Structure 1
Amino acid sequence: MSVGLSGVAAAQTTADDTITVIGPRSYRAAETSSSTRTDTPLIDVPQSVTVVTEAEIRDRAAQNLADTVRYVPGVSFAQGEGNRDTPIFRGNATTADMFVDGVRDDVQYYRDLYNVERVDVLRGSNGMIFGRGGGGGVLNRVTRQANGRNSHAFTTQFSGEGGGRVTGDLAMALDEVASFRVTGVYEDSESYRDDVTYERNGINPTLLVEIDPSTSLRVGYEYYDYEFVADRGVSSFNGRPLDVDPSAFFGDPARSPTTTTVNALNLRFEHEFSGGARISNHTRWGIYDKFYQNVFAGAPSGGGANVAIEAYNQATDRNSFFNQTDLTLELATGGVEHTILAGFEFGRQITDNFRETGYFTAISPTATSVTVLVSNPRYTGPIEFRQSASDADNHGAATQYAAFVQDQVELSPHWQAVIGVRYDRFEAELTNERTGAQFSAEDSLWSPRVGLIFKPVENASIYASYSQTFVPRAGEQLASLSAANSPLDPEEWENIELGAKWDILPSLSLTGAIYQLQRTNVAVTDPLNATQLILVDGQQVQGYEIGLSGDITDNWHVVGGYAYQDSEILTNQSAIVRAGARLAQTPEQTFSLWNRYDLTPSLGAGLGVIYVGERFATVENLATPASNVVLGGYTRVDAAAYWTINDQLRVQLNVENLLDEEYFINAHSATNIMPGSPRSYRVALTAAF
């Protein structure tokens, strides 16, 4: 997607009433609460965590969550069938491990950054903090909130492919007690892909009421709606993506819409007691309405001259309610300092799924595909959408009750520990509305976490950690229960990590980690009895990561990293997923480095390079030649220029793929592979008042 986001660099009224449109410049974050649910310096967190700051999002004109993590080691994005975010953490793809302000946001859709202040990217198993899922990592969006200050800015952005977007960020202190803020977006843009368009709008007002110096109430509501074209890219032949123009659309974009509407209410109450204890209660109620239909590429034929076209649609409605209560207490016992966290979480999610298959009635009433020429891969003939015998028509309910406790212990000036455990009671029910069949499962999930930190000096740490999490049989999208799998134990993930963090400068951090991530309790068909499932070891990823972020000087800002990943399927899981295969879209090596340098107070330039090694499109890469599809390695160069005209106006130019490299950025399957964007540009004007 070449439609971009230029983060709103909100002008702020300072003590001397001067206005600046520049916004924060630093690429370094000093602390996070995402990893521990307490405000903790990053150097004291025994886990790989990267914070993508507001300044970095703005300077790179990050377009979406996929672009946000482009410079984060060990994290990438799959195609997601052209209708959803699908991050890959240390080789493990997920459509559900995304959170907003620490609360689960797991519907399959495309998220925007118009109301985002920063994105926290956590690697490794995260069950103790976030509950079920999070086997390889999680993304937590931290949103912009009313904060008692005045800020006013609009950004208008134009895309080289056509169209653009407008974002706004308006905040004001209403009085000494209350403040208000509203962020918004409207976009109508085109793409480098033929007839692919994007239209979205969103608004997110928030209100802060400081009831007294120790008590506050935050209220927020988000309405977000979009309609995109679901684009699943091109097919492959002889182990490589088809050699076609990057703009060529396979199927029919006119009958491939993906739409989502989100309505979400957030309430957060916080109170600090006189003894230093703090209590926080956060409620999020979200109603999601998601639909997508796609007419897309299937398998090739005729020596690669032809390609099948297939079609289906799916609707998902989900009503999610979550309530979190955290109690934090700081105390000292015998010279040892403790930050103790105890809490509870309740969640209830009601989901309806409905899917229909596309039948190509010009061929026959039962034909589920049609063949077209690769040289002319569009299909505009008749398609009838109706349910097949295997299409979903499900109603599901999932309920979770969780309790957790954590102790961050400062044993001495040089030694710290983080010890915690979470218990989840997870209950799921699923009704097949076509057949009336009902399935249910109840799981008791214990998610421990232990980390030991050694600080030889104040600005450096060495840590070792162990963490564990689970995915219930209902699956990450709560629709996978069956008679065969509901009695089985949940999938289990274990992460062992050894790492180091060093603040080279007060504004510049270097991190490194070596890890082993294992997935076990994978359900496969019993080779001795095809009517039942058995549990086997699933996969293992071993690797190391190096990350750099921050400011070398006041004028030079950098972010980037290197990752090595050795991934492997451990046990035969089906006729095509075989032991020894590498995980899908998991390159052995990746490297990235972004620089911004300010030549003068008003002029700056940015330059970035991204290297991604070759990857297999799917995990079936030891099965047949048709599934052994390789996406070649590539190096992409991006650039930017910044001009601050005055305190109220700023112009920004971002160029993606400066050298016009031809490459394939990701895939969903061996027949759904996305070409990368040719050279493209976005121009943004930010105005403050």
Structure 2
Amino acid sequence: MPFNLAFPSRWHLRPLALCLAASLLLAVPVMASSADIARSFQVAAAPLGQALRQFAGQAGILLSAEGRLTQGKTSGGLRATVSVSVGLQQLLAGTGLIAVQLADGSYIVRLAPAVATVDGQWQTLAPVKVTGLADDGYRLRSSSTASRSEQALLNTPQAVSVVTGQLIRDQAMQNMADAMRYMPGVGTAAGEGNRDTAIFRGNSSTSDFYIDGMRDDVQYYRDFYNVDSVEAVKGSNAMIFGRGGAGGIINRVTKQPAWTDAASATVSLGAWQARRATLDVQNTVGENAAVRLNAMLEDSASFRQGVQLRRAGINPTFAWKAGPATRVMIGYEHFRDDRVTDRGVPSYRGRPYATDPSTFFGNASVSPSWVRIDAFSAVIEHELGGGAVLRNRTRYADYDKFYQNAFPSAVSADGTSVTALAYNSATVRRNLFNQTDISWTVQGGGLRHQLGAGLELGRQRTDNLRNTGYFASLGENVTRISLPTARPVTDVPITFRPSATDADNHGVADTAALYLQDQLIFSPHWQAIVGLRHERFTVDFLNRRTDERLRRTDRPWSPRAALVYQPVDTVSLYASLSQAFLPRAGEQLASLTPDNQAFEPERFRNVELGAKWEATPSLSASAAVYQLERSNVAVIDPTDSQRSVLVDGQRSRGLELELNGKLTRSWQIAGGYAWQQAVLTATQSAGAVAGASVAHVPRHSLSLWNRYDFMPDWGAALGLILRSPVFAAVSNTVSLPGYGRLDGALYYRPSARFGLQLNLENLLNHQYYASAHSNDNIAPGTPRLLRVSAAWHF
């Protein structure tokens, strides 16, 4: 996060539409002028971020640096009489960073570009002057998610969408569905009303979620109380992430100690008795340690009848400078979420059943869903010298998840009744993962090699138990009842017990993987990235119902290759090829059967062409076109129902456009557009035939959020979300209508210590359907929602 946020001093009263046209036509970079006077500096050796703050205070300048750039880096300090430019250059020497002076006289720390001298040696640029604003706002310049080492997004040959901390705050985002609206090519499904489900370029997943680069794959709703940013890396990439990640992954970057003394608290109240409070406190402990505590408490109802939500979380973290070249970060999180499982409404005659959005189908009182998570994480980072860095990450997480539901199925032909059924499911999982990465730079023969290598070890122990709901008062084996659509609720007692086919499984999955990647820099204009990962993934699976034990081991090789061309410093063009695999154990380790255990994993291959442009120092744009193919899909042999065969089952094609950053001093924008076409290329069942469109994939989708600050203490925002129709299931018999939604916000910050914010979702109160799980589980969109938040900064 930036050290400082500079608000513009002048008022901008031009209408928003005129400002857009003018800024796009007239925004021209201008070189800023400044005097470079020698001054005396006494900056102690410290973590880099802390040293830069000392320097900025002594120099009397505004200096901004993203925490992710300075994190893990140290400075030997500065005791000299030098100019500001020379002082910054000395502080940043050997860090791979540079200081850039902006048009308003402030400075910002950025990744240093590399240039070759005439003798073939590589040097980094000294501080330079460009135009722009110190605060990135809705734009992130670099990330370590896509490559496991900090790299400018401009040079990352893959589509990456980032929802920054400011965008999260400005929209009062709380969950994954909120963030995914602003990630082109990433959609959401209803997830049976109890979990996050992402659709990456036409591929559905409930497990391709990461936290600080470590796997977080249990099915639950994730919260943003301790999140600094959310990053979606799109396209298959098993070279970095291993199994899964068929169409991409989403990584949450958590808030870490920023080596400062600060605190903030927020209280939010909203429609339907929404109540939420968060706390963020951080302190330095001497010169070598820092702590941070994030906490959250929420108790809310919903526009849906009988639906309640209660959740709480606490996440302390501790950072320690163990030596001049060694940093340690330790964290613990306890998170709990209790809510009603909401499966939405059924369909009728190819569309969602026409009813009030608040109508609950089934029985909310017997549909609890809860999760309990205790997670420990540790990161050790050591600078080996010569630019080499060693990182070791460990994450142990204990998940306890349960959900139960009485929910709707098909509506009768005359529309007067709906079938209801029930079941529950429990999952207990313990994850232990250790990831070791090393990155270093080698120069020779006119080439520069930025090398990365890693070792991942992991074990997951999972127990799944499912029980069917029986309406015993109507008959011992009655599992379905009919309800009138005029009042589709039931209070008939339900008994839950195992049926002959319900799951009762125990599984152990072991992962061991090695990868090596080389980023070859041929010249200031050309780069190539090649990488290879070899993984050993073993599942030992026990079906407790039948005492049948199955075992499967896969040893896939996962390559990655890309070429990057930079015609100028602010533009990159790339082509990439990558792939991923999904073992037969399935994304939740519960689908291994005697029929499929002999089959090779499903394969996903992504071919992508893209362009990235830093239009100004505060505004970036990107475009990507791709084709993603899915193969090795196991289906029933049409000529022999007793055996299965493999087919090449799915193809996704698309275009993704994205724009993030500042158009003017006062105007920030975050938006994207996606065109997608995802179809089955082979018949997989009677309800999934070749040529069918993949479920939950809109042909067109657009999101656009604008924030305009009229003066230092007042601002407003307007957001637009558009989506074309989607099918609720691959059978293509039920369609969710396309929709448009307007959101808005007002911001008032009378002082640096206090701010008020009003968010209004669905301004026009348009009735729409947000997502679906199947043809008869469709989630209505939220009616007009008002939320007011107050924030205190100490």
What is the TM-score normalised by the length of structure 1? 0.96
Q: Which has the higher helix share?
A: 2
- TM-fit CA distance, 1:302: 4.6
Q: Indicate which of 583, 601, 611 corresponds to 2:694.
A: 583
Q: Is the 8 A contact 2:211 2:252 kept in 1?
A: yes
CA distance in 1: counterparts of 2:551 and 2:641, whole angstroms: 22
Q: 1:26 aligns with which of 131, 137, 149?
A: 137
Asked if the contact 1:524–1:534 (Cα under 8 Å) also holds between the matched residues in 2, the reply is yes
CA distance in 1, matches of 2:698, 2:437: 39
CA distance in 2, matches of 1:583, 1:279: 42
1:136 corresponds in structure 2 to: 247
Q: Contact (CA 8 Å) 1:100, 1:140: kept in 2 or not?
A: yes
Q: Report the equivalent of 2:738.
A: 633
**Residue in 2 that maps onto 1:45:** 156
- In the alignment, which of 657, 673, 681 is matched to residue 762 of structure 2? 657
Matched, 1:197 2:308: yes
Contact 1:308-1:372 within 8 A present in 2 as well: yes
Q: Is the contact made by 1:147 and 1:208 (CA closer than 8 Å) also made in structure 2? A: no
Are 1:270 and 2:381 counterparts? yes
**1:127 is matched by which residue type in structure 2?**
A
Q: Distance in 1 between matches of 2:481 and 2:413?
A: 13
Which residue number in structure 2 is paired with residue 625 of structure 1?
none
Distance 1:678 1:638 in 2: 11
Question: What pairs up with 1:463-482 in 2 under 5 angstroms?
Answer: 463-482=574-593
Q: Which consecutive residues of structure 1, in runs of 5 or more, have no partner in the other structure? A: 1-8, 622-627
Q: Do the aligned partners of 1:586 and 1:615 also contact (CA within 8 Å) in 2?
A: yes
How far apart, CA to CA, are the structure 2 residues paired with 1:368 and 1:303? Answer: 22
SS across alignment from 2:553: strand
Write the distance in 2 (CA, Å) between the matches of 1:464 and 1:289: 42
Q: Which residue of 1 aligns with 2:779?
A: 674
Q: Tell me how far apart the structure 2 counterparts of residues 151 and 253 of structure 1 sit (CA, whole Å).
A: 42
Q: Show CA shifts across 1:134-163 (max 9, x none).
A: 010100000011131122000000011113
Is 1:565 matched with 2:672? no
SS in 2 for 1:184: strand
* Correspondences of 1:215-294 after superposition (within 5 Å): 215-294=326-405
Distance in 2 of aligned mates of 1:151 and 1:353: 43
Q: Who is 1:101 aligned against?
A: 212
Give the letter for the 1:413 counterpart.
P
Q: Contact 2:707–2:715 (CA<8 Å) still a contact in 1? A: yes
What is the CA-CA distance between 1:599 and the residue it aligns to?
0.5
Match of 2:296 among 158, 180, 185: 185
Judge conservation of contact 1:154–1:688 (CA < 8 Å) in 2.
Answer: yes
- Say whether the 8 Å CA contact 2:174–2:225 is kept in structure 1: no
Q: Match for residue 21 of structure 2? A: none
Tell me the SS of whatever aligns to 2:239.
Answer: helix
**Letter of the structure 2 residue corresponding to residue 88 of structure 1:** I
1:175 is matched with 286
List aligned pairs for 1:232-631, cutoff 5 A: 232-621=343-732, 628-631=733-736
Q: Could you list the per-position Cα deviations for residues 361-380 of structure 1 after superposition, in whole angstroms to 9, with x for gaps in the alignment?
A: 23221111111111101111
Partners of 1:606 and 1:639 within 8 A in 2:
yes
Report the equivalent of 2:69.
none
| Cα distance in 2, alignment partners of residues 248 and 221 from structure 1 | 39
Distance (whole Å) between structure 1 residues aligned to residue 511 and residue 144 of structure 2: 23
Query: Is the 8 Å Cα contact of residues 250 and 296 (structure 1) preserved in structure 2?
Result: yes
What residue ranges of structure 2 are gaps of 5+ in the alignment?
A: 6-48, 61-65, 67-134
Aligned to 1:4: none
1:683 aligns with 2:794: no
Shift of 1:274: 2.1
Tell me if structure 1 keeps the 8 A contact 2:623–2:656. Answer: yes
The counterpart of 2:748, out of the listed 639, 643, 647, is: 643
Q: Determine helix, strand or coil for the equivalent of 1:62.
A: coil
2:117 paired with 1:117: no
State the alpha-carbon separation in 2 of the partners of residues 226 and 39 from structure 1.
33
CA contact (8 A) 1:167 1:186 kept: yes
* 2:136 and 2:618 in contact (8 A); partners too: no
Other structure's SS at 2:177 match: helix
Any idea what SS the aligned residue of 1:304 has?
A: coil
- What SS does the corresponding residue of 1:599 show, helix, strand or coil? strand
Question: Could you tell me whether the CA contact under 8 Å between 1:426 and 1:442 is conserved in 2?
Answer: yes
Q: Conserved in 1, the CA contact under 8 Å of 2:723 and 2:738?
A: yes
Deviations 1:52-78 (A, max 9, x none): 100011001112011012121111110
AA matched with 1:247: S
Q: What is the letter of the counterpart of residue 90 of structure 1?
A: R
Equivalent residue letter for 1:677: T
SS at match of 1:677: coil
Q: Which amino acid aligns with 2:324?
A: P
Aligned AA (2:589): L
**Amino acid across the alignment from 1:108:** Q
Letter in 1 for 2:414: G
User: 2:214 & 2:241 partners in 1: Cα distance?
Assistant: 8
Counterpart of 2:402, as a letter, is F
Query: What is the deviation of 1:216?
Result: 0.5
How far, CA to CA, are the matches of 1:148 and 1:72 in structure 2? 31
Once residues 158 and 261 of structure 2 are traced to their aligned partners in structure 1, the CA distance between those partners, rounded to angstroms, is 36
Equivalent AA in structure 2 for residue 316 of structure 1: T
For 1:624-665, what per-residue CA distance to the aligned partner results, in whole angstroms no more than 9, with x for missing partners? xxxx00000000000000000211110000000001111100
Q: Identity, % of aligned pairs?
A: 47
Larger Rg: 2
Please tell me whether the aligned partners of residues 25 and 55 of structure 1 are also in contact (alpha carbons under 8 angstroms). Answer: no
Letter in 1 for 2:601: P
Tell me the equivalent position of 2:116: none
Q: Which residue is 1:55 aligned to?
A: 166
Give the counterpart letter for 1:658 in structure 2: L
Query: In structure 1, the residue corresponding to 2:414 is in which secondary structure?
Result: helix
Instruction: Count matched residues.
Output: 670
Distance 1:375 1:680 in 2: 26
Task: Give the whole-Å Cα distance in 2 for the aligned partners of 1:220 and 1:526.
Answer: 50
1:159 and 1:683 in contact (8 A); partners too: yes
Aligned equivalents of 1:163, 1:276: Cα separation in 2: 50
Q: Does 1:69 align with 2:180?
A: yes
Conserved 8 A contact 1:225-1:262: yes
Over 2 Å off, 4+ runs:
12-18
Shift of 1:25: 6.2
CA contact (8 A) 2:136 2:661 kept: no
Q: CA RMSD in A?
A: 1.6
> CA deviation digits over 1:199-221, x for unaligned, max 9?
00100000000012210111000
Is the Cα contact below 8 Å between 1:540 and 1:567 reproduced in 2? Answer: yes
**Paired residue type of 1:614:** P
In the alignment, the residues of structure 1 paired with residue 519 and residue 317 of structure 2 have an alpha-carbon distance, to the nearest angstrom, of 32
Cα deviation digits, residues 519-554 of structure 1 (max 9, x gap): 100001112222221110110011111111111122
By relative contact order (CA 8 Å, sep 6+), the higher-ranking structure is: 1
